[in-house]
């Protein structure tokens, strides 16, 4: 098993036991995590773009697709502002994933910090 030890993780204010990580720390560790973007396809390729190396898995399809994700790696969920990805993180946690995180602030914060995006 290969898990990432995030140093900047903070507890999500809306979901007990769910942790957020900052975009900058995700960028530093993105080669060692599975990044799942839970937005709609048009958002993924739209104005805000997406994190290079992330995969699209629309939130509505998560119950059917969760089993395709590795439980032995750190998984980080991403969305526009952090709300949908927090729900995805909570759902994964309830379904046996131990090392799952929400990217704080979503792609809005990622773009505000001027981190690299793919469109």
Q: Which residues are catalytic?
A: 79
Q: Give the Cα separation of 20 and 113 in Å (integer).
A: 16
b (16+ CB within 10 A) / e for 53-85: ebebbbbeebeeebeebeeeebbbbbbbebebb
């Amino acid at each position: 098993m290969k898990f990432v030890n995030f140093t900047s993780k903070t507890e999500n204010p809306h979901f007990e036991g769910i942790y957020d990580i900052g975009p900058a720390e995700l960028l530093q560790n993105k080669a060692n995590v599975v990044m799942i973007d839970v937005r709609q396809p048009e958002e993924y390729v739209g104005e805000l773009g997406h994190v290079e190396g992330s995969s699209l898995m629309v939130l509505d399809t998560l119950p059917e697709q969760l089993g395709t994700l590795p439980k032995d790696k750190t998984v980080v969920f991403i969305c526009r502002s952090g709300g949908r990805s927090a729900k995805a993180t909570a759902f994964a946690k309830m379904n046996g994933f131990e090392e799952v995180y929400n990217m704080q602030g979503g792609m809005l914060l990622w773009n505000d910090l001027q981190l690299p995006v793919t469109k």
